[in-house]
Amino acid sequence: MDLKIKTKDGKVRLIEIKPKKQTAPPANRNTKSRQYISEALTYVKNQNKWHAAEKFAKDNGWTFEIWTEDTLKEMGILKSLTRKKRTSRAKR
């Protein structure tokens, strides 16, 4: 997990942050290519991790969420991080 957020009311959220591309099965391409195999293995590995995390969260009365770059943009986080990166690079 990347984040464990506990709110004032005692609710706990477990957050996993992943690129959007890793949250969906790989597109149907050449299924024998190294890239496809790598993407497929990553997807399956993530699915297994997320299933276990969801069960763990549920068993503890918590919630489990997967955030992607889209989630971070909606929250206004990704845009500010990108701006900070550009600013720091410009100062060098």
- The whole-angstrom separation of Cα 12 and Cα 57 is 9
- Residues 63/12, Cβ–Cβ less than 8 Å: yes
Q: Quick one: pLDDT at residue 92?
A: 53
pLDDT band at 81 (very low <50, low <70, confident <90, very high): low
Output the pTM of the full model.
0.74
Q: Quick one: pLDDT at residue 80?
A: 60
Q: Quick one: pLDDT at residue 86?
A: 55
- The whole-angstrom separation of Cα 58 and Cα 60 is 5
- The whole-angstrom separation of Cα 50 and Cα 45 is 9
Question: Per-residue pLDDT tens for 19-73?
Answer: 998 999 988 777 788 888 888 999 999 999 999 999 999 999 999 999 999 999 9
Q: Quick one: pLDDT at residue 23?
A: 92
